[in-house]
Structure 1
Amino acid sequence: MNRVVIYGGTGGIGMATARALRKRGIPLHLAARDAGRLEEVAADLGETTFTAGDVTDPAHFAIVTQEAGDTLAGLVYAVGTINLKPLAKLTADDAVMDFKLNALGALLALQAAAPALKAGAGEAGAGVVLFSTVAVAQGFAAHASVAMAKGAVEGLALSLAAELSPHIRINVVAPSLTRTPLAAAITSNETLASGIASMHALQRLGTPEDIGALAAFLVSAEAGWITGQVIGADGGRSTLRTKG
């Protein structure tokens, strides 16, 4: 069976997606910076190979694809940032790094993997999942840089979903605040976390498993007629207002 490549698969949403895909019996190839952590996670998941490297290095993506194999079943780009600063405190370096990690990295990952994804597509097509944020659909203060970068991810996904069809399906998952290591600065403050949770119709923050389950489905053949979509996994935050 062809592998699914997961960038950022050693923690948070990437790790939850990896576990959900392994439950479906799908072999994986993980890419992240920490070689020791990659080895540990790969041994735990089973049928998992890996490549260590940095997504800010353009050469990294060709190496990942080469080591993952000539035919791939899918790709998940679960690298992201939560850089929350008001406009007056944002720097050009902040914006450039957010764009590189979120949008440019996704583009380069897909560019490197596209031939292998096409080769391994099968009848349902190869499934690709990128990640946005509820902050693209909703305007939140201090989110300018990350919302701009994730908005670029949504535009990239729609463009490439058209260009790479019918062999490659590309969808975007847009979470609200989720209890991940990346968001720990926010979620570890229970007063703050509870206040944000109350703004959601489902009255809680997301978990990595909430998001990973959806991502795994979109990669799989079960989602074979779904492409070019931005799907909110956000407890209703983007569409529902439960308090006056």
Structure 2
Amino acid sequence: MKNYLIVGASSGIGKSIAEQLAKENQIFGTYRNTAVDIAQNIHYHYLDVMSDEKDLSFLPDTLDGLVYCPGTINLKPFKRFSADDFVDDFKLQVSGAVDIIQQCLPQLQKSKQSSIILFSSVAAQTGFNFHTQVSASKGAIEGFAKALAAELAPGVRVNVIAPSLTHTPLASALLNTEKKIEANADRHPLKSIGQSEDIAHLACFLLSDKAKWITGQIHHIDGGISTLR
């Protein structure tokens, strides 16, 4: 049984990853605002990734994988963003991940081969209106992950998953009517919206030994929107 840390395991994609992995592994999941359900093999702990003091003393001596899920979807015209909006988003999605990884690196390096999964967005490499804040932080994640993968090889693999719009609580404002769902689905060549389980399947594969020859990659799971017209 392997040990995995899922930061943001109480909702959406993080919850789906935790539930899938928990079938055969021990999961240490964190939450901040969302209530958690008691589940077999999932040990939940409160964690505020925006805090300067992050208590990870609950983790075991060895970690086989780390998934960092916190994110935001703030869409509005560039002129309506403040510089602080970009800084706060960077702190949540990039600085938070950096801090967690640095603290967990000794445990990750004790594993025979461990894996780190970070999350980007289709918007990082595909220009969309009103996505400047999203693209700025997610683009930073992609560059950071590639450099980190090179530095930590061969013992720790690092990969990024870049989804398109997915049915999660985070995206609820964009998918809260049938009309919005239909319009957003129609933008994708596969004419559907992704489910959190779809993303979790890919994450679990990348964490597993089946992906032992995959590192430093940006994996698009986006209904074809990033490459097909």
Match of 1:14 in 2: 14
2:41 to 26, 36, 47: 47
The RMSD of aligned alpha carbons is 1.2
Q: Displacement, 1:9? A: 0.5
Partners of 1:58 and 1:113 in 2: how far apart? 15
Runs of 4+ more than 4 Å apart: none
Partners of 2:181 and 2:132 in 1: how far apart? 21
TM-score computed with the length of structure 1 as normaliser: 0.91
1:216 to 184, 187, 204: 204
1:233 to 215, 221, 224: 221
What fraction of aligned residue pairs are identical, expressed as a percent?
Answer: 43
Match of 1:37 in 2: 35
Match of 1:3 in 2: 3
1:120-154 alpha-carbon deviations (Å, 9 max, x no partner): 2x2xx201110000001110011001110000110
Partners of 1:163 and 1:190 in 2: how far apart? 46
Q: Displacement, 1:223? A: 0.8
Verify the 8 A CA contact 1:173 1:230 in the aligned structure 2: yes
Match of 2:128 in 1: 140
1:67-86 alpha-carbon deviations (Å, 9 max, x no partner): 11110010000111001111
Partners of 2:116 and 2:47 in 1: how far apart? 21
1:57 aligned onto 2:51? yes
Where do 1:50-129 residues align within 5 Å? 50-60=44-54, 63-64=55-56, 66-120=57-111, 122=112, 125-129=113-117
TM-score computed with the length of structure 2 as normaliser: 0.96
Q: Displacement, 1:179? A: 0.6
Partners of 1:89 and 1:201 in 2: how far apart? 31
Partners of 2:11 and 2:84 in 1: how far apart? 25
Q: Displacement, 1:47? A: 1.6
Partners of 2:214 and 2:53 in 1: how far apart? 31
Verify the 8 A CA contact 2:18 2:42 in the aligned structure 1: no
Match of 1:162 in 2: 150
Aligned residues: 229
Which amino acid in the other structure matches residue 197 of structure 2?
Answer: E
Q: Which runs of 5+ in 1 are unaligned?
A: none
1:4-49 alpha-carbon deviations (Å, 9 max, x no partner): 00000000000111112123x0110011214x823x2xx22x1222
* Secondary structure in 1 matching 2:189: coil
Where do 1:183-194 residues align within 5 Å? 183-194=171-182
* Secondary structure in 2 matching 1:72: coil
* Secondary structure in 1 matching 2:106: helix
Greater alpha carbon shift after TM alignment, 165-174 vs 100-109: 100-109
1:98-125 alpha-carbon deviations (Å, 9 max, x no partner): 11111111111111111100102x2xx2
Verify the 8 A CA contact 1:83 1:98 in the aligned structure 2: no
Partners of 1:58 and 1:221 in 2: how far apart? 34
Verify the 8 A CA contact 2:164 2:222 in the aligned structure 1: yes
Verify the 8 A CA contact 2:70 2:92 in the aligned structure 1: yes
Q: Displacement, 1:53? A: 2.1
Q: Which runs of 5+ in 2 are unaligned?
A: none
1:207 to 180, 189, 195: 195
Q: Displacement, 1:205? A: 0.6
